[in-house]
Amino acid sequence: MAKRTYSVDLNTPSFKQFNDGNNTWYSKKTSCGGTIGQEGCFLTSAAMIFKGFGDTVDPGSITEALKKKNNADCPFNWNTAASEYSHTWHNKTNGSFNNVRSNLFDLIVTQRVPVMVHVPNHMVVVKGFQGTLTTDIDGLPYYTDISASMFKVNDPGSSSNSTLQDVINQKGSVDYITYYTK
């Protein structure tokens, strides 16, 4: 059997929801009453993706923009965020990592789209893939070879998590994936 190495980095910018010394938004209040630092992983993840699409946005500005749209910042309103920044939201695909890994691989590697991944009480952005997979006679990868450690992430709540496996180890299993396109 043949093997193929895949290496994709979507160059999605990274923002942190906490005080990393480079931002002022961590203490900004959301419509739910907490701060971006406490409960802003959805806002921060969306800001990373939209910034990667070329929008002038950060977690603070997306929070303010969505607050003005009937407090769509918290709870986070997927469709309002898409409309506000002229993007398309593609709903959620529920399931464990094993159930969504083929979709995640195709979005990152084939379509070159960053993906938001929800784990218990937290959201991160998958921004790349690095791994060697067995391929079939047609050159297509065996998805069962894909591990969570092959997906590279921007975690708005941690500076130490660099792979989806790191996030799963810290927060728990994947609940769903979702994504935006330009």
Mean pLDDT, residues 95-123 taken together: 97
- H or E element, residue 101: helix 97-105
Exposed, middle or buried by CB within 10 Å (0-12, 13-18, 19+), for 121? exposed
- Encode pLDDT of 52-89 as tens digits: 999 999 999 999 999 999 999 999 999 999 999 999 99
Contacts of 167 (CB under 8 A, 6+ apart): 117, 119, 122, 124, 153, 155, 158, 161
- Residue 21: per-residue pLDDT: 85
- 166 half-sphere exposure, CB direction, 13 A CA radius: 16
Cα-only R_g, the chain:
16
Q: For residue 96, is it left (φ>0), alpha (ψ between -120 and 50) or beta?
A: beta
Reported as a single tens digit per residue, the pLDDT across 4-24 is 999 999 999 999 999 888 888
Q: What predicted TM-score, i.e. pTM, was given to this entire model?
A: 0.96
* Domains defined for the chain, CATH in brackets: 2-181 (3.90.70)
